């Protein structure tokens, strides 16, 4: 029996993840990073959520049912912060083209800083006046945001720079051109 005579196995139906990613890919290019940022945060949280279910049960026993609402609020804030960080990354993504390698670091520092500032602002609560929810009034909080943004932004920028193809030195490019004229590449 030849390959053409064999029946091809049917493809499995697309999963929910495939459908979500297909919908995000159908968005304009400038609108994709915020959704990928939110999706990335939720993907990180989903992996840990299974491990944290016993802690959630203990929290409900100790603090009562409102602990579930607090955990849900943290999940929502994580997604909103991911959306904000992805938007900042999207707005700053042209910086590496203009500035080069340092622009990649600035882009990631900005994205992480916006992510963290959003999370700080939404999660903090003034103990004296619970109606006041805006954070980052204390300079120490700003120092924390900047320090962690530089740390984690540098790590993410390093990953991006490592993933880029390496540019060959000019002498190697000249040698390739000369060699390809003498020995044309195989078709």
Mind listing the pLDDT tens digit for each residue in 14-47? 677 778 778 888 888 877 888 887 777 777 777 6
Which pLDDT score is estimated for 126? 56
Contacts of 116 (CB under 8 A, 6+ apart): 81, 145, 148, 149
Under 8 Å between Cβ of 172 and 157: no
Pairwise CA distance, residues 59 & 51, whole Å: 14
Domain, as residue range, for 148 = 28-163
In a domain, 8, yes or no: no
| 132 pLDDT more than 80 | no
In a domain, 14, yes or no: no
Which pLDDT score is estimated for 151? 94
Which pLDDT score is estimated for 169? 66
In a domain, 73, yes or no: yes
| 172 pLDDT more than 70 | no
pLDDT band at 150 (very low <50, low <70, confident <90, very high): very high
Which pLDDT score is estimated for 76? 82
Assigned token pair, 83:
């959306």
Mean pLDDT of 111-138: 71
| 182 pLDDT more than 60 | no
In a domain, 15, yes or no: no
Mean pLDDT of 144-173: 82
Under 8 Å between Cβ of 153 and 142: no
In a domain, 21, yes or no: no
Under 8 Å between Cβ of 106 and 92: yes
- Total count of domains within the chain: 1
DSSP readout, 82-100? HHHHHHHHHHHTTHHHHH-
Query: What confidence tens digit (pLDDT) does each residue in 39-96 have?
Result: 777 777 776 667 777 777 787 788 888 877 877 887 788 888 888 888 888 888 877 7
Helices within the chain (DSSP H only): 16-25, 32-63, 66-92, 95-99, 101-123, 139-163, 170-182
List Cα–Cα distances, 129 to 99, 124, 143, in angstroms.
Answer: 45, 12, 24
In a domain, 20, yes or no: no
Contacts of 59 (CB under 8 A, 6+ apart): 67, 71
């Amino acid at each position: 029996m030849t390959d053409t005579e064999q029946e091809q196995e049917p493809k499995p139906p697309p999963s929910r993840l495939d459908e979500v990613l297909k919908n995000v890919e159908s968005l304009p290019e400038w609108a994709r990073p915020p959704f990928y940022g939110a999706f990335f945060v939720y993907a990180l949280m989903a992996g840990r959520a299974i491990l944290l279910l016993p802690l959630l049960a203990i929290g409900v026993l100790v603090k009562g049912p409102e602990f579930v609402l607090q955990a849900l609020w943290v999940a929502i804030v994580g997604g909103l912060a991911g959306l904000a960080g992805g938007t900042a990354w999207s707005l700053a993504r042209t910086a590496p083209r203009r500035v080069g390698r340092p622009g990649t670091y600035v882009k990631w520092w900005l994205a992480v800083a916006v992510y963290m500032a959003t999370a700080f602002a939404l999660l903090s609560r003034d103990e004296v006046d619970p109606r006041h929810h805006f954070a980052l009034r204390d300079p120490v909080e700003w120092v924390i945001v900047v320090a962690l943004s530089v740390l984690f932004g540098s790590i993410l920028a390093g990953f991006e720079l490592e993933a880029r193809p390496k540019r060959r030195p000019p002498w190697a490019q000249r040698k390739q051109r000369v060699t390809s004229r003498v020995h044309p590449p195989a078709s």
